[in-house]
Amino acid sequence: MNLAQLLVRAARVHPERVAVLLGDQPVLSYAQLAHRAARLAGHLSGTLGLLPGDRVALFMTNHVGYLEVLYAAWWAGLVVVPINAKLHPREVEFILDDSGAAVLFVSDALLPGLRPFLGGLPSLKKVFTPDGPEWSAALADAAMTPIHREPDDLAWLFYTSGTTGRPKGVMQTHRNLYAMTACYFMDVDDVSMDDAIVYAAPMSHGAGIYNFAFVARAARHVVPVSGGFDPAELVALSSSIGRLCMFAAPTMVKRLVEHVAASGAPVEGFKTIVYGGGPMYVEDIRQALTTMGPRFVQIYGQGESPMTISALAREQLADGAHPRWTERIASVGVAQTLVEVRVVAPDGAPVPVGDTGEVIVRGETVMAAYWHNPQATAKTLRDGWLWTGDMGALDADGFLTLKDRSKDVVISGGSNIYPREVEEVLLRHPGVREVSVIGQPDAEWGEVVVAFVVGDGVQAEALDALCLEHIARFKRPKRYHFVGALPKNNYGKVLKTALREMLLNGEPAC
């Protein structure tokens, strides 16, 4: 069971079909994509001597070569480590070190910033850039046949930001990702050979792992020329290419819908927009359905069970006549086919219908473990159930509504930001005595990061500069509140709920 077999079959059956496009320009057919993957695999395995199970990291923005690297790695029995291209070089260094990556593929634009951090990585043998001579030379190597992999062999090692400050590597196996793909067909959407997935969100995340359903059908993969999300570009691509499918965070959906509403652009070229990764406000999805019609499907997942916990189907979203439609569109739908979902009390006992508890998940898409982190694994995987850290409630029909996140993660523009990580950076400033970071609801971003700081003569500018030095730009607080003290409970633990209330009631006055 090797994910590379999806590409092998597509290339055999449909060699001439277009596989990869840059904008609306075809770049590679399925035969060419498979051929390049087989040669690159031959280079990684033969010339560089990588062994099955070795790790290949990708620190790349969306690129027409992304799929080639993924499939070459699996072809050679290797494990991919996709890294968020927005991370700070220090964060990337940690991931490369922790995963023991032997090879790194890095975008040209990201390499200069990362280079100073690559010196102390004993496992790293080779660095490739997409348009560099090494990559071209590797493609001249002899092709190999795909290595056999067992279903439980590791395929995808994805780092989530840890609440403890240390990112954790989620181990996804070949079986997990095949199961995720089966759920795409059963619970999200059918895919035809004429469909096109456009990577408007990062290929290192959910958008990228949706590639399998489209390779399985020998459909098209479109990398926007902008490399990411630009509503006008997407509308143009929908007209020129047609049957566009995409994964988008709720903020992206909102911006696309606003663009379509303001420009009156035609929407027929969009087939399916799958949204998830963060909360979607009811008013926003109502507006989206009114403006673009029944083109939406919602999914709820997390790195530990990627894209696959629940789904809210196109038909349910579009069924405005249903008596419980408003509740349903506020929900994240029902459990996907290959997983079971429960809402439980802290002791693991299911809570009554309608009551709130922690969402737990069991099934084929749930990760094997955290990489080299038995403690975190034991905390998160208990008796075969994944404890998501999300609070929710099930209704009598099995629809799940998420209430709050027990982990206090801030989700801004679809990206997760863990307050503790930001707090630790701010506390490096000698003038900062105490700090607490929370998310503030925001119509555009879902949430924005806000920091409460107790300190002596500290300026927001200095804190911003400190963040720029240590963490990704998108994690920086958008606002600072300098306060005399933080609200705390009897045990001295900061009351984040009190901080949130202060923000709701106007500016804080500590």
Residues near ligand AMP, by CB under 6 A: 160, 276-279, 298, 300-303, 332, 388, 390, 402, 405, 411, 416
DSSP states of 122-167: TT--EEE-TTSHHHHHHTTSPP-PPPP--TTSEEEEEEEPPTTSS-
Minimum distance, C-beta of residue 322 to ligand AMP, in the bound complex (Å): 19
The residue type at 141? D
Nearer to ligand AMP, 188 or 466 (CB): 188
137 token code pair: 């030379």
Minimum distance, C-beta of residue 310 to ligand AMP, in the bound complex (Å): 8
Nearer to ligand AMP, 359 or 502 (CB): 359
The residue type at 274? V
Which residues, 6+ apart, have CB-to-CB distance to 182 below 8 Å?
337, 338
Which residues, 6+ apart, have CB-to-CB distance to 253 below 8 Å?
273, 275, 280, 284, 285, 288, 296
Nearer to ligand AMP, 80 or 402 (CB): 402
* DSSP assigned state of 219: -
User: Quick check: 117 and 93 in contact, CB under 8 A?
Assistant: yes
Minimum distance, C-beta of residue 249 to ligand AMP, in the bound complex (Å): 9
Nearer to ligand AMP, 159 or 480 (CB): 159
User: Quick check: 267 and 292 in contact, CB under 8 A?
Assistant: yes
Minimum distance, C-beta of residue 58 to ligand AMP, in the bound complex (Å): 17
Closest CA to 12 of 223, 215, 243, 222: 215
Nearer to ligand AMP, 89 or 414 (CB): 414
Q: Where are the beta strands (DSSP E) in 207-286?
A: 220-223, 244-248, 270-275
Minimum distance, C-beta of residue 388 to ligand AMP, in the bound complex (Å): 5
Minimum distance, C-beta of residue 359 to ligand AMP, in the bound complex (Å): 8
The H or E element containing residue 22 is: strand 18-22
Nearer to ligand AMP, 337 or 406 (CB): 406
Nearer to ligand AMP, 411 or 450 (CB): 411
Minimum distance, C-beta of residue 419 to ligand AMP, in the bound complex (Å): 14
Which residues, 6+ apart, have CB-to-CB distance to 507 below 8 Å?
481
Nearer to ligand AMP, 346 or 457 (CB): 346
Minimum distance, C-beta of residue 301 to ligand AMP, in the bound complex (Å): 6
